[in-house]
């Protein structure tokens, strides 16, 4: 099956000429979308699209590592994706386990730290176990942090943060006057990371779909019609080059 996928995917080697290595986004977030449509166009089951999408993850993680990106957050399963047929949800969960099992050693060798955001307590226990294992194995690495967003929704994350803030206020650990934007950020799943500088969404959809709602306040947005399984390092590098042309003013003037 692997050879079919390789044959179907456009192999596109990247050239990172004229990329400004002193202005690489610290944190890149990607909404990995379009797997289903990629498969449908080839008369393949949707799950084959997800499988092809995993190949893209491999390539993009490698390229981000090489470029010195510090955080890569990949939207892999949203709080809304539970609405999909049970077979597809199961296939995605199995693919996650397969990916972690198959990839952790290589990622570890490449100094990648594996992490997640989202409420993983609702995932099958096998997924939770593999995530915890992968995080443990890679915890002392110092390279790219790969955040998998799993059962993640921006609104759910904010809700969970609010519940914990209220709890801490009630228990006297926190004073209402101490609640500011920084404190709220520290109660989110992304507490130990900077906000994304660049948000990429392939597949032609021009929406956020509940991803990192709080954190993308000042992210640069980059959209493309390419479906995720066809997304290559070349597209990533184009996104970074475009990002480098943007004038980030953060509400100020230059
Ligand atoms: C993204 O691809 C993967 C997940 C949401 C898990 P889709 O499965 O949403 O693909 P399309 O949007 O139907 O093409
Ligand atoms: C967003 O894609 C979620 C992930 C990529 C995991 P969807 O395909 O679920 O989003 P919508 O339904 O098009 O907004
Ligand atoms: Mg989709």
Mutate to test the pocket of ligand 1, among 30, 203, 227 (most ligand atoms within 8 A of CB): 203
Section 5-14 average pLDDT: 50
187 within ligand 1 shell (Cβ under 6 A)? no
Supply the mean pLDDT for the chain: 95
Kindly indicate the confidence band of residue 11, based on its pLDDT and cuts at 50, 70 and 90: very low
CATH topology of domain 24-152+196-244: Undecaprenyl pyrophosphate synthetase (3.40.1180)
Number of Cβ within 10 Å of residue 168's Cβ equals 16
Length of the chain equals: 254
Binding site annotation covers 142? no
Q: What's the first-to-final CA gap in the chain, in angstroms?
A: 54
CA distance 63 to 30: 14
Place of tokens 């096998």: 126
Atom of ligand 2 nearest to the CA of 36: 8
Do the strands 27-31 and 198-201 form a parallel or antiparallel pair, or are they unpaired? parallel
Residue extents of the structural domains in the chain: 24-152+196-244
Kindly indicate the confidence band of residue 17, based on its pLDDT and cuts at 50, 70 and 90: low
Kindly indicate the confidence band of residue 18, based on its pLDDT and cuts at 50, 70 and 90: confident
The token pair at 54 is: 């995993």
Residue 209 and residue 186 in contact, taking contact as beta carbons nearer than 8 Å: no
Alpha helices (H) along the chain: 2-8, 35-41, 46-67, 86-109, 125-138, 154-170, 181-186, 233-245
Tell me the ligand closest to 53's alpha carbon: 1
Q: What is the pLDDT of residue 3?
A: 54
Among candidates 63, 4, 13, which has minimal Cα distance to 38? 4
Mutate to test the pocket of ligand 2, among 34, 152, 209 (most ligand atoms within 8 A of CB): 209
134 within ligand 1 shell (Cβ under 6 A)? no
Q: Is 81 a known active-site residue?
A: yes
pTM higher than the cut 0.85: yes
Bridge partners (DSSP) of residue 27 are 71
Q: Is 147 a known active-site residue?
A: no
CA distance 86 to 194: 35
Binding site annotation covers 15? no
210 within ligand 2 shell (Cβ under 6 A)? no
- Residue of 33, 189, 197, 230 marked active site: 33
Q: What is the pLDDT of residue 16?
A: 47
- Residue of 18, 43, 81, 141 marked active site: 81
Residue 143 and residue 111 in contact, taking contact as beta carbons nearer than 8 Å: yes
Q: What is the pLDDT of residue 51?
A: 98
36 within ligand 1 shell (Cβ under 6 A)? yes
CA distance 189 to 187: 7
Mutate to test the pocket of ligand 1, among 30, 31, 32, 33 (most ligand atoms within 8 A of CB): 33
Q: Is residue 174 within a helix (H) or strand (E), and if so which, with residue range?
A: none
What are the tens digits of pLDDT across the range 131-185? 999 999 999 999 999 999 999 999 999 999 999 999 999 999 999 999 999 999 9
């Amino acid at each position: 099956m692997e050879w079919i996928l390789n044959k179907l995917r456009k192999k596109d080697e990247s050239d990172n000429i004229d990329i400004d290595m002193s202005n690489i986004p610290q944190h890149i977030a990607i909404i990995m979308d379009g797997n289903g449509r990629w498969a449908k166009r080839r008369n393949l089951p949707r799950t084959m699209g997800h499988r092809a999408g995993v190949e893209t993850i491999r390539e993009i993680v490698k390229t981000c590592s090489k470029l010195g990106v510090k955080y890569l957050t990949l939207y892999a399963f949203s709080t809304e994706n539970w609405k999909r047929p049970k077979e597809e949800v199961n296939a995605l969960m199995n693919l996650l386990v397969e990916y972690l099992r198959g990839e952790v050693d290589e990622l570890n060798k490449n100094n990648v730290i594996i992490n997640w955001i989202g409420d993983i307590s609702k995932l099958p226990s096998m997924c939770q176990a593999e995530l915890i294992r992968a995080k443990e194995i890679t915890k002392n690495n110092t390279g790219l942090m790969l955040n998998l967003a799993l059962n993640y929704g921006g609104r759910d994350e904010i809700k969970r943060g609010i519940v914990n803030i209220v709890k801490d206020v009630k228990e006297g650990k926190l004073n209402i006057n101490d609640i500011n934007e920084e404190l709220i950020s520290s109660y989110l799943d992304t507490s130990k990371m900077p906000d994304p500088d660049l948000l990429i969404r392939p597949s032609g959809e021009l929406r956020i779909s509940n991803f990192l709602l709080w954190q993308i306040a000042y992210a640069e947005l980059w959209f493309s019609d390419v479906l995720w399984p066809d997304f290559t390092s070349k597209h990533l590098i184009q996104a970074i080059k475009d990002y480098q042309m943007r004038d980030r003013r953060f509400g100020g003037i230059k």
